[in-house]
Structure 1
């Protein structure tokens, strides 16, 4: 019993200590401009070496420090959230294995060694999504793991293509990759792997479905681990995309994902899915920054987003616990009167997500928007940026109206309050990150100011769009609740926008039928067809016949001798 209730505390202290160590190492490497690459040669194959590589630079140390800091808070939070769970130890070990897989991916500059973390994330995420053993969790876990397998196959094909370059340490080759031949295919495969892991269109359906996992897992997945792996891989590969043709496709896909997620969140009523769609929108912001050639800004936003998104999910977990395990925001309301601490943390995370000035999200998000407005964007991409920014603030204030303010809509009278000191204390550390994390990281990563030249109207455009989105999200929902149901008059639009443009349907029912049908035909024709006839089964039958003949010959059968003599006579007569 002692082990069960103290494991979260021991894990938190251990990871927090490692986090502080890696943070100071990051500062040391950043100031000294030091990069250390460690290679362990495992197998030599022709002229290629299969090595286990580790890279230690300021970027890997800083990201590792952030992952371990958030993980320590989440594990401490889990001690209160998962209290009373019969499989508490199993849950903690799975989360620790999940953190280890992400850490292995962060310090791997080699496509073969990166598989240790890449496949580990996919496998452990499946085990965590199906943690609550019911049909919904099983379906969500299967969708998650099958979607991520597409990216795993892309990484395996990338390993095959990189064999032609003489090694798999991509940090040595990214600068000289062209857009033609095998090198161009390598770029497309890396982008495909990142799109599946970071849930970009058309692989977006698994991200809201993964909400079937426990809330501490959601806080970890959506802040700094699973979904950020694809963005981190693109950041490492970013020198290969400079002046490349693939950036146009990447920009369009990321902006469409950003817009689709923001639009869908305005019609969603599940608390955790709204926050998941906000993660999807912010992932689109990061990848669009990479497609603009701003990998440093994308990494900056990756760090700041992780801080307030983990806090937002932890607040959602406390709210769900208090309202009787409901996740429908229409069953909440007026929670700020009963849960002041949680409401304060949640508002802080929400405002940081909106890019409110001088919170963590402002420093990175506003910088990306200004850099994008200063770039040579076409009108469609500019419009998607413009609308996505407004939609983010709109669904945030809609969430605030339905859950924290408004009318008290709980169906039963319950005891609401910030009762769990353990969960509230774990959120305080992330609260400080959401408050000052942006400015601190800004000073560290960008010690010199960036030169941004914009007109006054373009400079204040993000702020004006945010204010307009806040008014629309708050006032229109007050009107829709107090008056008639306006959504019924635009039912078709609501269905399309609220269903993520039918992507869950395509990814599950229709997509599964098509893919399984194609797979069955290939299995019949290839595995059970020609490859079986000329492959393993055919070779087996040939060996059986050959061994039977050898056995007859070893028995010195008179019949065999007579047959052999007869065949010999026939051959001689045929020749002569």
Structure 2
């Protein structure tokens, strides 16, 4: 049984490497160390090809979290993917995915970042189409093409950095914020926005839910979608003010859009995907306000409870015989108590319940926003989006945990998948204790925040109001309240992510792709062929035919006599 040994070997190896990286990150934090390791791959005359690695507390800590979550996801996959005849192929894809993310994390060089960046895009496509049906193929193509925009932006940034003589961006951060270098920063922000699915590139993130649930747990917590945020954290010192202001507006609108859409969605995995999109907007917005360390802190805490949330959702879907519609679920606290406990802990951490993992990062971010210079519209939108998080979380509780069970009564619900439970319980410990642990590690000097009482209590007040709104509206049905005002158009608009999936599928396929098809048909294979290569070919063929005809008959002898006669006449005269 190859895949059994492969699962366990991968689990123990990744867990060991994660523990090693975590201890090294502690050592690097306490001693304030940064290591550059250069490996000379090949040297020919004076030209060398060198692989450079950057090891500091940030890269080591992030790698330890990626390896920890991927090890538990692989253990979880042992049960979840047990019906797959090719589980070893799935595990190899996941390991290649993790390796690509490690390349992105440890690279101070744009070329090696592109290696991991493209690896993430390619392997994510292979994982999204893993189930091989039409929906998966469409979702995979949308994911791949959306991410190609960021890949092209990164390639253009690499070309522009030829001006510096090296692609090791880490050495040039202090001089990148001059006016002539704005183009590089604009391209880097574009790459980060596509990979982290900010507006208008948000459509691919819920579509990527076509992948198996263990992949979703890995992608949405610590790998693919966080690569863009991590890249921008690395470039944060060089980002100009006007680009940061633009990024702030886009990220706050992404938070608001995803929170609103999650309140109208009925697919369990898509609701959690939209909550990931909301948290990515939160990370990007606090990063654009100049707090890169807070963005990194929330990135790590979010990875812990979001991976647990997807694992719990996978356990529920696994037991519900692959139904993902939350209207078929209900009263799962009775049938699956341990899974329900993990699910509720991860959701409470998402909401920022005091002293769980999410509280330490979200509360600190909201208080720093209250302490910063921000106009009232953005400030209110920020806190309203935070309230929407609590609103859709309690809607999810009502449908999944407390409502009536709406599937056939013959369906058996059980928690006998021990490897899935081991993975979930391992992450549950970190979802409870990880926030305080990271807070003590990263911020050796605590933030001192002095605010009026009402602003200090505002995050909790907003959460309570979101709880009340969610319980009031979804205790019955939101459609009933909107039906009173005949506002179904608003439900369609809000629930469809502001029509972004439609624009990015039908809009892109109908207009630009048709333009490309027609240009290929009428220009590349039409007029340019007629006046270009093909026409030249036909002309040369005709000329060579005439030449051949001359050479194959007696005309050449008459031509020789004619030339001789002309020469004789010329000599006589």
Give the structure-2-normalised TM-score: 0.91
> Which stretch shows the higher mean deviation, 171-180 or 19-28?
171-180
1:473 aligns with 2:494: no
Which structure has the larger Rg? 2
Tell me which residue corresponds to 1:401: 398
Please state whether the residue corresponding to 1:224 is helix, strand or coil.
Answer: coil
> Which stretch shows the higher mean deviation, 285-294 or 31-40?
31-40
CA contact (8 A) 1:267 1:494 kept: yes
Superposed CA offset, 1:103-156 (max 9, x none): 111111111111111000000001100111111111111111011111111111
- Give structure 2 stretches of 5+ with no counterpart: none
Superposed CA offset, 1:439-482 (max 9, x none): 1011110011112221111110000000110111123211328x
Measure the CA separation in 2 of the matches of 1:238 and 1:180: 16
The Cα of 1:529 is off from its aligned counterpart by 7.2
The Cα of 1:309 is off from its aligned counterpart by 0.1
Tell me which residue corresponds to 2:458: 461
1:143 aligns with 2:142: yes
- Which of 220, 223, 232 is the matching residue for 1:222? 220
The Cα of 1:527 is off from its aligned counterpart by 4.9
Tell me which residue corresponds to 2:286: 289
Tell me which residue corresponds to 2:110: 111
Tell me which residue corresponds to 2:297: 300
Tell me which residue corresponds to 1:415: 412
What is the aligned length?
562
The Cα of 1:34 is off from its aligned counterpart by 1.4
Superposed CA offset, 1:198-249 (max 9, x none): 01000100000000000000000000000001001101110111x5210111
Aligned positions of 1:160-309 closer than 5 A: 160-178=159-177, 180-181=179-180, 183-241=181-239, 243-309=240-306
Aligned positions of 1:509-520 closer than 5 A: 509-520=506-517
1:429 aligns with 2:426: yes
The Cα of 1:520 is off from its aligned counterpart by 3.0
Measure the CA separation in 2 of the matches of 1:513 and 1:81: 39
1:26 aligns with 2:21: no
Tell me which residue corresponds to 1:81: 80
- Structure 1 residues 106 and 527: alpha-carbon distance in aligned structure 2, compared to 1, 3 A threshold: farther
Give the structure-1-normalised TM-score: 0.91
> Which stretch shows the higher mean deviation, 320-329 or 511-520?
511-520
- Structure 1 residues 196 and 44: alpha-carbon distance in aligned structure 2, compared to 1, 3 A threshold: farther
Q: CA RMSD in A?
A: 3.1
- Structure 1 residues 454 and 521: alpha-carbon distance in aligned structure 2, compared to 1, 3 A threshold: farther
Superposed CA offset, 1:3-28 (max 9, x none): 23332222111100010011111111
Superposed CA offset, 1:320-364 (max 9, x none): 111121100010010001111000000000000001111100111
Tell me which residue corresponds to 2:377: 380
CA contact (8 A) 1:335 1:408 kept: yes
CA contact (8 A) 1:162 1:168 kept: yes
- Which of 473, 476, 480 is the matching residue for 1:485? 480
Measure the CA separation in 1 of the matches of 2:320 and 2:57: 43
- Structure 1 residues 157 and 548: alpha-carbon distance in aligned structure 2, compared to 1, 3 A threshold: farther
CA contact (8 A) 1:52 1:112 kept: no
Tell me which residue corresponds to 1:347: 344
Measure the CA separation in 1 of the matches of 2:467 and 2:14: 38
Aligned positions of 1:39-78 closer than 5 A: 39-40=38-39, 51-78=50-77
Superposed CA offset, 1:462-513 (max 9, x none): 00000110111123211328xx833433201101000000000001011221
CA contact (8 A) 1:197 1:226 kept: yes
> Which stretch shows the higher mean deviation, 228-237 or 446-455?
446-455
Measure the CA separation in 2 of the matches of 1:540 and 1:35: 62
Please state whether the residue corresponding to 1:450 is helix, strand or coil.
Answer: coil
The Cα of 1:49 is off from its aligned counterpart by 7.0
- Structure 1 residues 558 and 440: alpha-carbon distance in aligned structure 2, compared to 1, 3 A threshold: farther
> Which stretch shows the higher mean deviation, 88-97 or 277-286?
88-97
CA contact (8 A) 1:54 1:107 kept: yes
Measure the CA separation in 1 of the matches of 2:453 and 2:437: 27
